[in-house]
Structure formats: C-alpha cells, structure tokens
C-alpha cells in the first residue's frame, strides 16, 4: 500500500489527556518533544534549563488539556504556545539583565529545513517583504526570546527605533497575512 502518511492527531491526543490517558501524552512527547525542546533551548540558551521547561510544559499540557478549545486555534499551536510562554516566563524571571554577546548568537543558525506548510510559506513570504533588519527583530524576539533591549544591542540600534520597528513590522505582517 502506498497510502499517504496519516497526520498526527494532536487534538485527539489532548482529548485523551483530558480523560487521563498517559499514553496520549507520551505520544505527543514522541511526536513533538524534540521540536519543542529545540524551541525551549533556543529561548533558554541552556540545555538543562530547556529540559526543565519541557518538563513543566508537558505537566501543564497534562493538567490543562481540558481547557484546550479547538475553536480558538489548533491543538499543535496550543502545545507550542504553552511551551513558548513557559520559556519566556523563565527568561523574564532570570535573565533579562544578562548582557548578550553577538558571538553566542552566530553559533545558533536558524534551521534550514523549514517545513513548507501553507502557514509556514505565508509567514516567510511576508517576512521577506520587511527590511532585513526588521525581519531580524521579529525573529530574534520570537525565536530567540530576545527583549527590545537585547535586540537593540545585537543590531546596534537605538532602543526606541527597535520598538518602533517591531510595532510597524507586526502591523505589516498582519496586513500581509490577514
């Protein structure tokens, strides 16, 4: 048989988690754990911390699965949001004062194997329409979890300019993506 690979059922897994089925949580972990850890690692910039974040994320996915509302977005998006916000909270609590050095960043390239789903293609097409420095602002913020001040340091640009760029870039992205 040459049938297409079935899509992983994120929503079904969350529903099963809500019913107390641990195998469903494990399936989510097997399916998405490495990618989620990559997201947490990128923001936390530390392996042990990233694993702590992923641990907390899966406990939260388990305890909050019943609160997932498919009317508000995809189940996959929800588990990423849970993980990202935990990671962002972590660095907000601990690391905002640390000065970043640019060298540390150049050693963390953006992954090249971007999956070309519709959404993915759309955001990248829209990002390409921004000036390169503004695109960097969005990526450093979202992917690296950088604050305004950190981005200002990395791009050697005044803080006020960075804030204005991000505001305008978000507006442009919204208009581009709908």
Partner 1 sequence: MKTPQGERADDLDALAGEYVLGTLSAEQHEAVRHRLEVDVQLRTAVDAWEQRLLALNALAEPVVPSARLWKRINRSLDGQRPAQPVRWWQRLAVWQGMAGAGALASLLLAFSLLTTQPPPPSYLVVLVAPADSAAGWVVQASDARNIQLIPLGQFPVPSDKVLQFWTKGEQWQAPVSLGLVKPGEQYRVPSDDLPPLEPNQLFELTLERAGGSPTGRPTGPVQFIGRAVKVL
Residues 141-170 interacting with partner 1 (rule: CB under 8 A): 141-143, 145-148, 166-167, 170
**91's tokens:** 């660095």
Output 18 or 133, the one with its CB closest to partner 1.
Answer: 18
What's the min distance (Å) between Cβ of 174 and partner 1? 6
8 A C-beta contact, residue 80 and residue 93? no
8 A C-beta contact, residue 92 and residue 44? no
**128's tokens:** 């390409």
What's the min distance (Å) between Cβ of 110 and partner 1? 4
Query: Of residues 103, 110, 132, 156, which one binds partner 1 by CB under 8 A?
Result: 110
List the interface residues with partner 1, window 30-89 (CB under 8 A): 33-35, 37-39, 41-43, 47, 50-51, 54-55, 58-59, 62-67, 71-74, 76-77, 80-81, 84, 88-89
Output 3 or 113, the one with its CB closest to partner 1.
Answer: 113
**94's tokens:** 């601990």
How many residues sit in the footprint of partner 1 (CB under 8 A)?
A: 72
Burial 82-112 (b: 16+ CB within 10 A, else e): bbbebbbebbeeebeeeebeeeeeeeeeeee
């Amino acid at each position: 048989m040459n049938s297409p690979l079935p899509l992983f059922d994120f929503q079904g897994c969350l529903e099963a988690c809500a019913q107390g089925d641990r195998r469903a949580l494990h399936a989510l972990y097997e399916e998405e754990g490495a990618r989620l850890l990559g997201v947490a690692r990128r923001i936390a910039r530390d392996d042990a911390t990233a694993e702590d974040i992923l641990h907390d994320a899966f406990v939260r996915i388990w305890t909050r699965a019943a609160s997932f509302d498919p009317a508000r977005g995809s189940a996959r998006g929800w588990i990423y949001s849970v993980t990202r916000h935990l990671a962002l909270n972590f660095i907000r609590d601990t690391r905002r004062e640390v000065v970043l050095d640019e060298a540390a960043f150049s050693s963390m390239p953006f992954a090249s194997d971007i999956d070309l789903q519709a959404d993915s293609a759309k955001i990248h097409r829209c990002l390409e329409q921004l000036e390169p420095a503004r695109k960097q602002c969005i990526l450093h913020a979202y992917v690296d979890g950088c604050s305004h001040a950190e981005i200002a340091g990395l791009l050697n640009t005044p803080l006020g300019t960075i804030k204005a760029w991000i505001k305008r870039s978000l507006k442009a992205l919204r208009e581009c993506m709908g």
